[in-house]
Amino acid sequence: MVLRTLSTLAKASVGLSAWMQGKIGASAADAMTDTGKGFGNYLMALGIIETVALFVMVFIAGLL
């Protein structure tokens, strides 16, 4: 029962992270077409969300 709960939580966390990556990527592309500036900032924002997904994956794998 506990493993099933952890598995569901991990899937939801990774799915939410992927959704947020899509939202940030779309916003970054929109902002880049408008201004042409801030490419490094957009990459940092995507990197933070990707780091969250990797941490979730590693910590859940360690628990299982």
Residue 41 has a pLDDT of: 92
Residue 22: predicted pLDDT: 93
The predicted structure's pLDDT at residue 64: 72
Whether residue 59 has pLDDT greater than 90? no
Distance, CA of 13 to CA of 31 (rounded, Å): 27
Enter the pTM of the model. Answer: 0.76
Alpha carbon distance 55, 57 (integer Å): 5
Give how far the C-alpha of residue 46 lies from the chain's centroid of Cα atoms, to the nearest Å.
7
**Interval 1-58: pLDDT, tens:** 888 888 888 888 889 989 999 999 999 999 999 998 989 999 999 999 889 888 888 8
